[in-house]
Amino acid sequence: MKSTIEEVALVLKLLGDKTRLKMVKILESRECCVCELVHLFDMSQPAISQHLRKLRDVGLIFESRRGQWVYYGLNRQYENFPFVCTLLNQLPSQEGLLESLEKQGLRVLCD
Amino acid sequence: MKSTIEEVALVLKLLGDKTRLKMVKILESRECCVCELVHLFDMSQPAISQHLRKLRDVGLIFESRRGQWVYYGLNRQYENFPFVCTLLNQLPSQEGLLESLEKQGLRVLCD
DNA sequence: TTATCGTATAAGTAAATGCTTATATCCTTA
DNA sequence: TAAGGATATAAGCATTTACTTATACGATAA
């Protein structure tokens, strides 16, 4: 079933911010913890948290605490996920960012 | 070639407004003059003009004056048109709005 | 020319947005 | 229990946004 124009407009508004759009594209590759994302954006940690909250509030991403870290990932059960997916498919991959994080030894692994 | 994240974010921001998104979906069906659009939205004429201007400024729609009327239509040559198209395809048709305009005798025809 | 219709622009405003710094909370570990 | 790291929340602020009303502009027609 198609979403209403209003619903779609809200999703587009949410993703109409370069920081959030990039975040979502990154989280499409793999879950990340907040401190990893802080390293990927030239922005304060609270700013990152606030963007993540907006994305989580609508259900587009999920949160999972692991020890003292909080991981976020794309919620593929989100009602508008298929729609979001067609958007993300048209974006250039951001996996290089994650690779360079690892090269810098900034990847957080807590298992 | 894929657009950058920044470019896409700007397009999404532009379409992340329910009025503009609906406008663009309507203009996908056919060109409309400003006064027709004014009838379709519960908003002043200047507000409609201002939305149209934003859409035109990026090149997503074009303007064509016909007598004292100004028509707007989707610019299918817009650089991100294919992207916009995949968005519009996922929206419910708004052609019913145009039909009811015609039933009310509010369709403007200037040929 | 003047009146009128359709549209655009100008100016003002309330609300939303995206950041900042400061501080609180939560978890782990010594 | 106390300290410290990771994250969230609070409060403040400058900018942007989406409207409004008033007015200017452009085309048509009496």
Half-sphere exposure of residue B10: CA atoms within 13 angstroms, side-chain side: 12
**pLDDT above 80 for A111:** no
Beta bridge partners of B85: none
In this prediction, residue A64 carries a pLDDT of 97
Q: Which of A9, A87, A92 sits opposite B4 (nearest CB)?
A: A92
Task: Encode pLDDT of A11-70 as tens digits.
Answer: 999 999 999 999 999 999 999 999 999 999 999 999 999 999 999 999 999 999 999 999
Mean pLDDT of B19-34: 97
Task: For residue B62, give the 3-state DSSP assignment.
Answer: strand
DSSP SS3 for A92? coil
Domain annotation for chain B: domains and CATH numbers: 5-103 (1.10.10.10)
Residue B70 Cβ under 7 A from any strand C atom: yes
Q: Could you tell me if A48 and A56 are in contact, meaning their C-beta atoms sit under 8 angstroms apart?
A: no
Report chain B's mean pLDDT, rounded to a whole number: 94
Enumerate the residues of chain B whose CB falls inside 8 A of the CB of residue A5.
Answer: 18, 21-22, 25, 91-92, 94
CB A90 within 8 A of CB B86: yes
- Mind listing the pLDDT tens digit for each residue in B47-59? 999 999 999 999 9
Q: Is B22:B94 a contact under the CB 8 Å cutoff? A: yes
DSSP state of A73: E
pLDDT class of B109 with cuts at 50, 70, 90: low
